[in-house]
Amino acid sequence: MSGESGQTRIAARFRGFLPVAVDVETGGFNANTDALLEIAAVMIDMTPAGELRPGANFRYHVQPFHGSRIDPASLAVNGIDPHHPLRPAMPEKEALTQLFREIRKAVRDSGCTRAVLVGHNASFDLGFLNAAVARADIKRNPFHPFSSFDTATLGGVALGQTVLARAVTAAGLEWNSDSAHSAIYDAERTAALFCTICNRFRFMYEEALERAPALADAEQERESAGGD
């Protein structure tokens, strides 16, 4: 692997998946009825030395879909005014189309076959993403429909903390409470937490490759053949 770039090697690290940290801000907790108001994504890169790090980031303000529910309690937490005249919001389909275009390019450039969502309590973010994809009738979704990496789980295992702010702090990273609940800030902190934990567990991955190289080769062959 010494002659491979970091972005080529990341394809081997995660079975052909490219991790992308995602955070959504919403009008409630029900993905089918409550508005998606903001979505942000941070690419995960790999250095030539094999270390993971947060990469390019993208953020979109989203117009509430017709008939969507917006709970004032949710707006009190995320500080979003969905109807502010200066808010640069776009329809769900436009926002997702632009985001997915960037992610598909990153997937191609990294030699991966698909993106996989990294989220803090990832099922929440993935649920809202999938619901918006269905509403907008988007056919080319780069994300795996149900697989994800959950930093709440990783934080609990590695650091004993499942709350994002506490896990980030326990990992020795910076946390700014005033910036929390902004989709781009939370996505960036989630990406940094994911990279930090993965980098610290890198020795386990390398031991696994030595212990079962045939398994790793079989997985790569299966991915190349289009398996899942």
- Residues acting as catalytic residues: 181
Angle at 23 between CA 18 and CA 29, to 5 degrees: 130
Residue whose entry in the numeric block shows the structure tokens 């398994």? 215
Q: 137 — alpha (psi -120 to 50), left (phi > 0) or beta?
A: left
Those residues whose C-beta lies under 8 Å from the C-beta of residue 73, and which sit 6 or more positions away, are none
Q: Alpha carbon of 2 to those of 169, 195, 213: distances in Å?
A: 34, 21, 17
Largest CA distance in the chain: 59
